[in-house]
Amino acid sequence: MTEHAVAGQEKAAATPQRKIRIGDLLVSNGVITEAQLMSALAEQKKTGQKLGYTLVDMGLIDELRLLEFLSQQLQIPLVDIAGYRADPEVVRLLPETVARRYRVVVLENRDQDVLLGMADPTDLCAYDEASRLLKKRVRQAVVREADLLRMLGRWYQDQQAIDELAGELHQELADGDVDLQRMLTSTAA
C-alpha cells in the first residue's frame, strides 16, 4: 500500500456489513435533517441514482464527508487512490465489465485476501460478485468514485489500446499489406 492509504487498512472488513440505511444513519448522527432526507429521497425517486450521490448532488453533504462517514460507520478504511500506483495485473484480476458495473477495483492482492476499493461499500451484490470471481477473502475499502473511474480508465483503456493495435497489426500481416522483406532491407541500408 502507498502513503495514500488511510491508517487502519489492515482492519478492512473481511465480510460486508449488513445492508445499512445511509440516510437514517446520517439523520441519527446529525449530519442531515429528517426534512433534508425526505427531500433527497424524493429526488432519488425521480433520478434513480443512489441516495449518497443524490445527497452530494443536492449539496446536502460533501462527497469526502460522506465517504469518511461510511468509512467510520462500516469500520473500513477510506483509501485515497488519486495518484495511487496500482499494479496493472492486480487491477485486472476483475474483468473490466465487472469493475465498471459495480464500481470496484482490486487494490492489493495477498496470498490470503484482496483489498477491494469500492465506490459503494454497502453494495452487497458488488461484494458478492467480486468475492465469487476472486475466490479469496475480500477486505473492503471505500474510495472516491471519480478516482476509481480514472484508475479503471488508465489500466483497462491502456490494455484495450494495445489489444486494438495488436489486432490491427495482425490483420495487416494476414492481409499481406506489410512487406516485411522490404522493411528489413530498408532498415539495413
Whole-number average pLDDT of the chain: 82
- pTM for this structure? 0.70
pLDDT at 143 exceeding the cut of 80:
yes
Q: Residue 104 above 90 pLDDT?
A: yes
pLDDT at 25: 87
Answer yes or no: is pLDDT of 30 > 80. yes
Q: What does the alpha-carbon distance between residue 166 and residue 60 come to, in Å, rounded to a whole number? A: 48
Q: Helical H runs in the chain?
A: 22-28, 34-47, 51-57, 63-74, 88-91, 96-102, 124-134, 145-175, 180-188
Mean of pLDDT values over 22-34: 90
What's the pLDDT tens digit per position in 52-83?
889 999 999 999 999 999 899 889 999 999 87
Q: Which of 94, 96, 97, 149 is nearest to 120 (CA)?
A: 149
Cα-only R_g, the chain: 22
Task: Say if residue 86's pLDDT is above 50.
Answer: yes
The helix (H) or strand (E) run that includes residue 116 is strand 113-118
Which pLDDT value is given to residue 164? 66
- What order do you get walking across the sheet with 104-109 strand by strand? 104-109, 113-118, 137-142
More confident residue, 46 or 13: 46
